[in-house]
């Protein structure tokens, strides 16, 4: 359910989906303090289960903390868990729900733009390991997703901008009209205009839903959603998840993938320039000049998308089109990393 104010109808939405109310809400302290009153209709008088936020909290330790909280509250399989927060809260809560008592129904109520258009939908949940991002996880679709643009008002500008890079990704992989809409409405979207945001969020969700419906368990076609993520995940890993917001790392990853796409003759140079221009207009990205190409290549060699030793890489065949290839070479990756500013 997507729309400005839709969270006001949360209890009715839970009941329509036959979900137990009150639900056990998992959130993070800053989110709960800023927005917790908005989910009072489903949380009732019960205090939320609070967990750390930020990418460094996306760990098995956080999952274990939720297990302990669920056990202390005597949660059973008839219960409903609600993840009220950004992508980290949603991923950790979803993984805990997938594995506690071998599976409990849960709801995603995303409070960041990135979560509303991406991580809260599609059913992929999990945590990071020291070796890399999202290496432990499950496919556990939420029973309900409530995406209300009005909760985005409390987001810091940098967090919101990180979500806009993920919105841009959907335009690049599947919709020239969405790409053009973002380009034309950058200022309105960045001002959190709900009337401008709602159709953009909806289109992103439609694109992801269509792709996931064709390939729920990522055997092939769903890999297009990873455009920009191979390099992006490497950037996050080598900086120990401290420097980049996920969307910022994906922005660099898209620019790197575009460079390879152009060098292979797949993507028109004009489309590459248009992508780079929107990334520039959305705002500054953290520096990468101190990161070494070799260490980024090592991080990519551990990517969970490798199958039988082959890394399937998503390239752009023009705005709105993708191509998955198994033969991107270390030399191509090195050149692309230098293009985005990584040090040789």
Q: How far apart are the first and last CA of the chain?
A: 46
Cis peptide leading into residue 22 (ω within 30°): yes
311 CB burial (10 A radius; 0-12, 13-18, 19+)? middle
Tell me which residues are annotated as active site.
102, 124, 166, 208, 218, 222, 226, 229, 233, 246
């Amino acid at each position: 359910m997507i729309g400005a104010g839709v969270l006001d109808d949360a209890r009715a939405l839970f009941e329509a989906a036959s979900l137990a109310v009150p639900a056990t809400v998992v959130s993070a302290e800053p989110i709960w303090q800023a927005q917790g009153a908005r989910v009072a209709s489903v949380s009732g008088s019960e205090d939320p289960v609070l967990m750390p936020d930020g990418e460094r909290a996306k760990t098995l330790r956080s999952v274990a903390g939720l297990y302990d909280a669920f056990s202390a509250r005597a949660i059973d399989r008839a219960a409903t868990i609600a993840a009220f927060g950004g992508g980290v809260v949603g991923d950790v809560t979803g993984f805990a729900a997938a594995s506690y008592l071998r599976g409990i129904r849960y709801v995603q109520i995303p409070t960041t733009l990135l979560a509303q258009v991406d991580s809260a939908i599609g059913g992929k949940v999990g945590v990071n390991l020291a070796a890399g991002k999202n290496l432990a996880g499950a496919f556990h679709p939420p029973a309900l997703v409530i995406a209300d643009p009005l909760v985005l008002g409390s987001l810091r500008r940098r967090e919101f901008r990180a979500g806009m890079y993920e919105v841009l990704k959907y335009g690049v992989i599947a919709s020239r009209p969405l790409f053009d809409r973002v380009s034309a409405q950058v200022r309105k979207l960045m001002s959190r205009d709900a009337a401008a945001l709602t159709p953009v969020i909806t289109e992103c969700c439609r694109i992801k839903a269509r792709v996931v419906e064709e390939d729920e368990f990522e055997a092939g076609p769903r890999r297009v959603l990873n455009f920009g993520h191979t390099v992006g995940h490497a950037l996050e890993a080598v900086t120990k998840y401290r420097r980049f917001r996920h969307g910022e790392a994906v922005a660099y990853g898209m620019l790197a993938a575009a460079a390879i796409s152009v060098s292979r003759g797949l993507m028109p140079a004009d489309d590459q320039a248009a992508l780079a221009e929107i990334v520039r207009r959305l705002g500054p990205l953290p520096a990468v000049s101190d990161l070494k190409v070799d260490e980024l290549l090592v991080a990519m060699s551990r990517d969970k998308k490798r199958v039988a030793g082959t890394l399937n890489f998503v390239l752009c065949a023009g705005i709105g089109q993708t191509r998955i290839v198994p033969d991107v070479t270390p030399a191509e990756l090195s050149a692309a990393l230098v293009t985005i500013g990584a040090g040789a």
